């Protein structure tokens, strides 16, 4: 593991590198290039490291990748990594893969579509294709997608799964227990294992009967475990996936028969229909909330925050997310996550760019109503107040953030949003005092 390598041909760009213990300069290896949405190079390596060691893959993760920017930082970030790693390492030219998170996932697909002969497959995490016009029916590479079951992009990934299935594109989309995040290590292992099987089917790598047997046995054990837990729908999907993934590599008759039997049962058919109905209902709810937010934020008179949050039904959704039945809780969490990402990031950015500080603040207060204990929401409120030059409100917002656990004062030092208030004596005094309190030792009880 090398935490940071500066690209020799472009010193402005750098990446983290993991070489598996089996790596040898005499034997070219598969490589996975990784694009995090915030340039957190070490995070995806942490998630994929065990899988890379098991399967002998190289990992290269950029510090310069980013999403939600007006330009494209991801293509040059990948180009710099590509050139540097190809100069340093023995890489199997038939097995260069891309993975990205959120906007980095969309960028990975976009890059692969523009260089299909260079990219062997894409592992997209937390988001799908670049846009609705992406050529689903002619996707020229294997695609493995992941998303948390509370991710605000969950419904997008569910819809994409249906489109890829209908188009008969080689793909797999798996969901894990979590939010908007890279997949956990076990699912990362599943993604790389799936790409290994795809490479064997295509001839990009040599057939390995021992590995096929091990992977197939693991998948069967998982399906049997779900069946033993009376999760018929989960078992049906696991058997169906095993039959599909290993077809042509081993005898899958038993898996196919079990999938067919479970898939024809009334309970599984009903569960699948119910899931589709929930998806449709929740997507409609998200669209209606988006409409209400648009009306509230674009009204000639900006409504009071309490009126806006009441009209959005946030309290009822929060109650459902904490006390409802399991599926209802997840649905409420996903709906709130969709609203929160708009209210905490995209909408405030839009209004701050227009110097419409009142509407930016209203959007952030909607986010605060969704998650009242998140200190970063109040920090962002302070950023908006500071950009408006409102020292008193900035300090009140920062104090609210501190009361909820904010203590990363170095963020304030480096954040350009505070430029308008940084020299104010009251601001300087508050910041020094807050730092002193945070650094003060905690006294033991007598």
**Given pLDDT bands bounded at 50, 70 and 90, which one contains residue 77?**
very high
**Given pLDDT bands bounded at 50, 70 and 90, which one contains residue 68?**
confident
pLDDT confidence of residue 110:
93
Tell me how many domains the chain contains: 4
| Shared-domain flag, residues 45 and 168 | yes
Give the integer Cα–Cα distance in Å for 253 and 149: 31
Dump pLDDT digits (tens) for 211-269.
Answer: 999 999 999 999 999 999 999 999 999 999 999 999 999 999 999 999 999 999 999 99
Q: Is 15 contained in some domain? A: yes
| Shared-domain flag, residues 185 and 213 | no
Q: Is 150 contained in some domain? A: yes
- From 371, 401, 427, give the residue that closes a domain: 371
Name residues whose C-beta falls within 8 Å of residue 283's C-beta, 6 or more positions apart in sequence: 155
| Shared-domain flag, residues 34 and 137 | yes
Average pLDDT of the segment spanning 269-285: 95
Dump pLDDT digits (tens) for 168-191.
Answer: 999 999 999 999 999 999 999 999
CATH for 110: 3.40.50.1820
More confident residue, 214 or 69: 214
Dump pLDDT digits (tens) for 281-290.
Answer: 999 999 999 9
Does residue 7 surpass a pLDDT of 80?
yes
Dump pLDDT digits (tens) for 286-317.
Answer: 999 999 999 999 999 988 989 999 999 999 99
| Shared-domain flag, residues 90 and 166 | yes
3-state secondary structure at position 202: helix
**Given pLDDT bands bounded at 50, 70 and 90, which one contains residue 70?**
confident
Tokens 């893969």 label which residue?
Answer: 97
Q: What percent of the chain has pLDDT over 70?
A: 98
Q: Is 169 contained in some domain? A: yes
**Which residue segment(s) compose the domain that 213 sits in?**
207-264
192 in Cβ contact with 55 (< 8 Å):
yes
Give the integer Cα–Cα distance in Å for 159 and 280: 10
- From 371, 389, 415, give the residue that closes a domain: 371
Name residues whose C-beta falls within 8 Å of residue 429's C-beta, 6 or more positions apart in sequence: none
Dump pLDDT digits (tens) for 318-368.
Answer: 999 999 889 999 999 999 999 999 999 999 999 999 999 999 999 999 999
> Closest Cα partner for 151 from 307, 341, 22, 302?
341
172 in Cβ contact with 141 (< 8 Å):
no
Q: Specify the DSSP class assigned to residue 441.
A: P
State the sign of the Cα–Cα–Cα–Cα dihedral 426, 413, 365, 348: positive
| 14-18, 94-98, 323-327: the lowest-pLDDT one | 323-327
83 in Cβ contact with 58 (< 8 Å):
no
Name residues whose C-beta falls within 8 Å of residue 342's C-beta, 6 or more positions apart in sequence: 290, 293, 363
Does residue 443 surpass a pLDDT of 60?
no
Q: Is 346 contained in some domain? A: yes
pLDDT confidence of residue 131:
82
386 in Cβ contact with 418 (< 8 Å):
yes
Q: Is 106 contained in some domain? A: yes
**Given pLDDT bands bounded at 50, 70 and 90, which one contains residue 153?**
very high
| Shared-domain flag, residues 16 and 84 | yes
| 104-118, 255-269, 405-419, 430-444: the lowest-pLDDT one | 430-444
| Shared-domain flag, residues 145 and 286 | no
**Given pLDDT bands bounded at 50, 70 and 90, which one contains residue 444?**
low
> Closest Cα partner for 96 from 71, 122, 70?
122
Average pLDDT of the segment spanning 68-89: 95
């Amino acid at each position: 593991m090398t935490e940071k390598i500066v690209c020799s041909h472009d010193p402005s760009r750098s990446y983290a590198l993991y070489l598996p213990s089996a790596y040898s300069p005499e034997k070219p290896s598969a490589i996975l290039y990784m694009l995090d949405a915030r340039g957190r190079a070490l995070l995806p390596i942490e998630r994929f490291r065990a899988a890379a060691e098991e399967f002998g893959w190289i990992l290269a993760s950029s510090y310069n990748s980013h999403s939600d920017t007006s330009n494209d930082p991801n293509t040059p970030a990948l180009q710099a990594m590509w050139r540097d790693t190809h100069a340093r390492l023995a890489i199997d030219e038939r097995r260069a893969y891309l993975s990205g998170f959120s906007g980095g996932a969309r960028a990975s697909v976009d890059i692969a579509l523009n260089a299909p002969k260079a990219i062997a497959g894409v592992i997209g995490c937390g988001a799908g294709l670049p846009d609705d016009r992406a050529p689903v029916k002619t996707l020229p590479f294997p695609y493995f997608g992941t998303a948390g079951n509370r991710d605000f992009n969950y419904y997008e990934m569910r819809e994409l799964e249906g489109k890829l299935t209908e188009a008969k594109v080689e793909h797999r989309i798996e969901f894990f227990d979590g939010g908007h995040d890279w997949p956990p290590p076990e699912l990362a292992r599943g993604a790389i294992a799936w790409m290994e099987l795809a490479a064997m089917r295509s001839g990009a790598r040599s057939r390995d009967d021992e590995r096929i047997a091990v992977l197939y046995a693991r998948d069967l054990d998982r399906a049997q475990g779900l069946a033993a837990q009376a999760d018929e729908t989960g078992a049906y999907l696991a058997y169906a996936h095993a039959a599909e993934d290993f077809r042509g590599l081993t005898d899958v008759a038993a898996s196919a028969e079990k999938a067919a039997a479970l898939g024809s049962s009334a309970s599984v058919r009903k569960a699948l229909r119910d899931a589709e109905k929930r998806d449709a209902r929740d997507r409609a709810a998200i669209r209606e909330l988006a409409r209400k937010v648009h009306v509230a934020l674009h009204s000639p008179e900006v409504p009071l925050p309490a009126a806006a949050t009441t009209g959005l039904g946030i309290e009822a959704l929060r109650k459902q997310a904490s006390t409802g039945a399991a599926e209802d809780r997840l649905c409420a969490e996903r709906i709130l996550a969709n609203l929160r990402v708009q209210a905490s990031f995209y909408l405030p950015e839009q209004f701050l760019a227009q110097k419409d500080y009142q509407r930016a603040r209203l959007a952030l207060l909607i986010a605060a109503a969704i998650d009242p204990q998140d200190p970063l929401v109040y920090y962002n409120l302070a950023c908006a107040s500071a950009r408006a030059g409102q020292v008193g409100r900035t300090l009140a917002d920062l104090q609210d953030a501190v009361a909820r656990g904010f203590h990363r004062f170095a963020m304030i030092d480096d954040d350009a949003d505070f430029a308008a208030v940084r020299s104010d004596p009251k601001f300087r005094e508050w910041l020094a005092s807050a730092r002193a309190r945070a650094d003060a030792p905690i006294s033991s009880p007598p």
